[in-house]
Structures are given as structure tokens and as C-alpha cells.
Amino acid sequence: MKFSLLIDGMLCDGASTLDVINPATGKVLAVAPRADKAQLDQAIAAARRAFPAWAAKSYAERRGYLEKLADAVEARSDEFARLLTQEQGKPRAEAEMEIMGIVHCIHYFAQSELPVKVLSETEEERVTEHRTPLGIVAAITPWNFPIVLMAAKIAPALITGNVVIGKPAPSTPLTTLLLGEVAAQILPAGVLQTIVDENDLGAVLSAHPDIANVNFTGSTATGKKILASAADTLKRFTLELGGNDVAILLDDVDIAEVAPRIFASAMGNAGQVCLATKRVYVPEAMYDEVCDALAKLARETVVGDGLEQGTQMGPIQNSQQFEKVKGYLDIARQDGTIIAGGSAIEGDGYFIEPTIVRDIAADSRLVREEQFGPVLPVLPYKDIDDVIDAANSTEYGLGGSVWSSDRARATQVALKIDSGIVWVNRHLVLPYDVPFGGAKQSGIGRQHGLDSLHEVTQLKVISEALA
């Protein structure tokens, strides 16, 4: 299959190419077009030309375009899902969920609107609040959920009258390019464009004076660079960054019920989720039983190519992350006791056994850092105040969860966790009408909900004298 960039309404070749690797085989899956700075400049110029007419359309007019885009993606959902599994590695069932997530995302935001709000109205004055589009939004996405995260940036921006340049991670560009191919038949030229690079155009894009907003999901280190590059132009930005999410089990949980849900929250997408459970704290009296339950689940998990029937966990997405996760396995062997997994799987592809680690020091790098892979440390605790301190003793604050048969008690603990979102008796529930984002170094701004529309619009107050 041939893949093309979308620039100014035209599907085109890149100035050069890059190989996209299937992480299940370690072999080249496809050749993607790679843009150079001149093509990026063309895309920005086209977006600038397209913006006035798109912004001038009504919400109803823009809604029609987005509904057609969602329907067109759904019509090719099988193609999208297979391609996503091949470029990202996740099992086909997870890929299908991500593609339907795109469809639901675009439909949801197509129905969203920011109407004029009357703040004050008297005989002397009328004060109204208006939300106007910022201009060109740069949507920069990572490789773990490459297409649904792109959709969650594109849809709020387009419905509010912005235009978008989408830049996927270079190891997972294909589904974004396919989205561009679909959009080319529906959206006006320049309204949505796709640019693929090899991590060499991001700084140019985020620093460009014509870019009004940068919406980035990725590592905290890269987020800091984007924040610095945006400073000269004081452009708006939304950053959803790294996390070291905690799961706290209280002493009244039903282990048989909770353990599979904790395991799923940590091992989904091979642990490559910003909001995944990265460390688990368990009351001392329950520690052995919880560790054994998690280890049993890990040993029973079927790891393999996501296209194969029965696969429950796919590979690490790329070789660089594969080597990093293997490094965390070394740390686990040095600092703790591995009770399940613990090795890379022999053969082609970037496969890691789901790994459970116990008896590990709280200051181990495996506990303190974001491992972004299927290696889960489990730690005991005596006092709930101590575990709350431990949960908060990190620069991250993206998410977390508290588990208990007493929901009110769990909620009181959740309120003490310094994170942007904390779940009670569930994890990774992210409906499109509920905003989420990070505290501390896990990000700035919010995705989803009306907050995501506010991120890409300018608050404008009109104050009128009536007398």
C-alpha cells in the first residue's frame, strides 16, 4: 500500500522516506513519506490560507464535515484496525477498540459547541463571553495510541474553527496518513494536513510563529522542550506528559475480584500507556496473596503477534523502548524478586514477558520512574498515610486509582493523591465528556470535554454600554 502526506488538499510524496517497522517481526512493514522543512512550510502556508474560511463557517457547517469524516473512518474500520496492529503491535481487539474510539471521538466533538455566554445584562450594560478559534493547531502524537490521540486533538480543534497540522510519531505514522487520505476527500484544502518526520521537524513546528497552539502527548522531557520552544511567541499549548500512576489497595478489597482489574490496568497495550498502573501498594497482611494472584495472571497471559488469534499482549512498539524495558528487567533482578516473567522472549520482534516484581525498595528506579512496559512492582504498606506520602513522592501526577469495598473511604484517600485524575474501583475510564490532564510534571491543560475546546479557543469579552 502506498502512503502519502496530505498537504494543501493534495496527497503527495515526501522529500524522502523512512521505514516503518512491524514490532511483532522486527522487519519493515511499509515505507512512509518523510517531509522536509520546505514541505512543512508549505503545509503551514496552506493552513494559514484555509483558516479564515473555515473559521467563518458555523458550528452546524463544520459539524457536517466532521460527521462525514467519522462515517468514512468507520466504513474503513477493518483496514484501520489491521494497519494499527501491524504498525503499533497491540492485539487486534485492542486495535479495533482504538479505531472505534476515533469514530466516537469525532462524533462526540462534532456535536459540541461553545455558544455566546451572557455574563451581565442590565439597563446600563451587556457583557458577553465569546470563544474564537486560535488559528493553526499543531497536533503531535506518540506511538502508543497513535490514531485515537490524534483524533482527540483534531476533533475539538476543527469543530471550534481551527485548522490542524497532524504530526505522528515516526515509528507509527501509517494510520495517521490513512486518516489524511480519508480526510482529503471530505475536508477543504488546508484544514487538516499530515506531516511525517524523523523527530527533526517537531522543534521547527512548535516554534513557528504561525502556529497558534501546540497540542502534544508524549514524554515529560520532550514536553519541556516544546514548552521552551513556545516561549518566544507565547503560543498556547496543551501538554499531556508522563506518569507514574499508583494503585492503592485498601485492606477490605476482594482480591479475587480486584487482582485481574489491577493487572489489566498495568498490562494493557503491553504497559505502554501514560495512565497505566505503574506501581501497586498493598496492605502487608494481603501482600503475599495479591502478589501470587498477579503473578498467576502474568504467567497465563498469551504474548504474541497481535494479528494472531488468542494473543492477549503484543510487543513493545520499537527497538529503543524494547532496550529500555530490558534495562528495567535488570533493575528488577537487582533490586527485587521477580515472581513472574522477567525476560525478553526469544525470536523476532520486541516481546517482553509480563513481569511482576515484589520485595523491591521504594527508592528503586523501577518504582520511581515511568517504565512504560509490562514490568510491575508491588510494594507492601502498613499505614495509609505513609502510602499516600509514597504515592505523592514523585514529580509525576497524571493518574491513579484506589480500590476498596467502602467507596466513601476510598474516595477520601483518592482526594489526597496529587494527580489530575484518580479513579475509585476502576482505572483508565476516559469518556470524551470528562476532561483529564496532569498535575505537577505530568502536563499542562486538559484533553476531552469542553475544556479541550477551551484549550484551542481565545476567550473574548465584549462589554457594551447600553445607556
Residue entry with cell 528487567: 329
Provide the 10 A C-beta neighbour count for residue 397: 25
CA-to-CA dists, residue 180 to 75, 109, 317, angstroms: 15, 18, 22
- Minimal CA–CA distance to 264: which of 251, 254, 277? 277
Q: Measure the CA–CA gap between 139 and 464, rounded to whole angstroms.
A: 36
240 an active-site residue?
yes
- The span from the first CA to the last CA of the chain, in angstroms, equals 66
Q: Helices (H), strands (E): how many in the chain?
A: 15, 20
Residue entry with cell 485492606: 251
- Minimal CA–CA distance to 56: which of 233, 209, 188, 237? 188
Q: Measure the CA–CA gap between 394 and 397, rounded to whole angstroms.
A: 8
Contact criterion met (CB below 8 Å) for 42 and 195: no
Q: Which grid coordinates belong to 334? A: 537487582
Name the active-site residue from 87, 94, 105, 274. Answer: 274
Q: Which grid coordinates belong to 415? A: 482526594
Name the active-site residue from 240, 353, 370, 455. Answer: 240
Q: Measure the CA–CA gap between 96 and 75, rounded to whole angstroms.
A: 13
Q: Measure the CA–CA gap between 350 and 129, rounded to whole angstroms.
A: 52
Q: Measure the CA–CA gap between 243 and 190, rounded to whole angstroms.
A: 34
| Positions marked catalytic | 240, 274
